[in-house]
Amino acid sequence: MIDLSHIHPMLVHFPLALLPLAVLVQWWMMLRGKPQYGRDCGAAAITLMVVVAALGALAAAGFGDMALDIAVDHGVPEARLETHEELGETSAMLLLGLAVLQTWFYATENRAKLINIGMTLVSTAVLGVLITTAFHGGELVYKLGVNVG
């Protein structure tokens, strides 16, 4: 049976793969002057990627709490894990909010240029938080060996 602490690193790859791709497509569409919220493949792809990334982040945060408990039980000081935990929860909530906004603008087919620019910048900022979260998680695994093995 799979160790519960290993599910978290599997799930984090959904937001880590999908959000950067969604942001790239947003920038590409914005720079080409295409609306991101019309009924076309690009808009649908962005929305789907952001929604799946948010669901993955929420699941990863839930399993991350379990992984934290397992790490603490194995002797890792909780203080070393707190920054990653707080960033992970923040990332999940930001991605959830981004997914709600993305879905709303897609459903209403909002074609306002300012909305396209604003959402691209917001998505890029959320990606920055997600990358920071991933960096701290990588530090835990690769420098401290948290929940490895």
Render each residue's pLDDT in the chain as its tens digit; 149 residues: 788 889 999 999 999 999 999 999 999 999 998 888 877 899 999 999 999 999 999 999 999 999 999 999 999 999 989 999 999 999 999 999 999 999 999 999 887 889 999 999 999 999 999 999 999 999 999 998 898 87
Residue 149 resides in a domain: no
Q: What pLDDT shows up at residue 97?
A: 98
List, in order, residues 6 or more apart from 19 with CB less than 8 Å away.
49, 50, 53, 95, 123, 126, 127, 130
Helix ranges (H only) for 32-77 are 41-73
Residue 117 resides in a domain: yes
Residue 110 resides in a domain: yes
Residue 34 resides in a domain: yes
Which residue type is seen at 25?
V
Residue 134 resides in a domain: yes
Domain span holding position 114: 4-144
Domain count, the chain: 1
Q: What pLDDT shows up at residue 1?
A: 75
* Statement: the pTM of the whole predicted model exceeds 0.85: yes
Residue 77 resides in a domain: yes
Q: What pLDDT shows up at residue 31?
A: 92
